[in-house]
Amino acid sequence: MHGKWIRRISLPRELARTALICFPHVGGSATYFAPLAQCIDPAIEPLSVQYPGRQDRRHDEWAGSIDELVDGVLAELPGTVEGRAVALYGHSMGATVAFEVCRRLPEFGVTPQALFLSGRRSPRSVREEHNHTHTEAELATELRRVADTPPTWLADPELRELLLPVVRMDYRAIESYVYTEGRPVECPIVVLTGDDDPYVDVDEAKDWESFTTGDFALHAYQGKHFFMESNLPAVGQLMSETLARLN
């Protein structure tokens, strides 16, 4: 499967009953979730979103807003997952994109099974952030601050020149996002957070409960913003067991 927006990140799982759509963070690409794909049950087909402006989409026009990302995903997602249950997982900026996609999927005849969110505070927990206006040096410092292990590409001047503009555009999209009040989603929301994440505290994570009429669960892991990388087996098991109960 190699659509413009939705990508397969594991070997085909033709008997999978559920498609898990993963939404990357600021500067992230579809391949970021490939390690997670190896930690989830074979009954789940892991797919990932490829935003424009990176990797094989580096020549595509960047999205200037969360709404543009949501519209792009929704133009492709319903046809991709036809006949299977659908769950969504978004990390950081991807959590906001996944949430907004989840809100609109019923318009396309798709009822989401579950919404997993990590590394992002609830839409009503607003902070003033202006990372998109920072210099390249300041952006690099910010990326080091939030990571348990600083990204290796920050040490390569050529890669920094290639990737920091993508990071800046993603920051602009998420920092200009304004939540519009509406009906909560009906599927369960499962929130995952790092206990030392500078972008979200426990209260901001708990507030996601008010955005669903379904069940809610909050799980804290040791680590900063990218805690998932050092907790992959536990995260994969949580997702697998949650979706198994819902099938």
Residues with a catalytic annotation lie at 92, 225
Which residues, 6+ apart, have CB-to-CB distance to 11 below 8 Å? none
DSSP code, position 60: S
Residue 156 identity: D
Q: Is residue 110 within 8 Å of 80, Cβ to Cβ?
A: no
Q: How far apart are CA 240 and CA 91, in angstroms?
A: 17
Q: Is residue 201 within 8 Å of 118, Cβ to Cβ?
A: no
Tokens (6 digits) for 41: 């049950």
Beta bridge partners of 217: 190
Q: Which stretches does DSSP call E strand in the chain?
A: 6-8, 18-23, 44-49, 85-91, 112-118, 189-194, 216-221
Q: Is residue 147 within 8 Å of 131, Cβ to Cβ?
A: no
